[in-house]
Amino acid sequence: MTLLSSSLKVRLTADLTHVHPDLIPGSEGYTIGVYGQCSRLSKRFTGVWFPGIQILDVAWASLEILDTPSLVRQAKEKQEQQNAFKMAFRCSQP
């Protein structure tokens, strides 16, 4: 996944009630980029603002992206990458 320059609307897929009682699967928030130690040390985490609840670092694997333009861009990037692999495979064939 590429680095994001803007905020994305996301939905929590993991149960984080051990952090805050309102952080249940389905909670929606917005990415804010680097926030705490986890997101500073690893690209697997991003800061997320859950309005009215809390701001914290969350693993990308625990988030579902709801932002439609970003989903379209991701699908396009994935398709371009697959096309590049197909082209490289065809070129390597004798």
- For 34, 48, 60, 93, the CA distances from 30, given in Å and listed in that order, are 12, 5, 12, 46
Task: State whether CATH 2.30.29 applies to domain 9-68.
Answer: no
pLDDT, residue 83, reads: 79
Model pLDDT, residue 2: 40
Rounded CA-CA distance 42/3 in Å is: 12
Report yes or no: 47 and 33 within 8 Å, Cβ to Cβ. yes
Residue extents of the structural domains in the chain: 9-68
**DSSP class of residue 52?**
T
Q: What is the pLDDT along the chain (94 residues), one digit of tens a residue?
A: 344 457 889 999 999 999 999 999 999 999 999 999 999 999 999 999 999 999 999 999 999 988 777 667 777 888 888 877 777 767 766 6
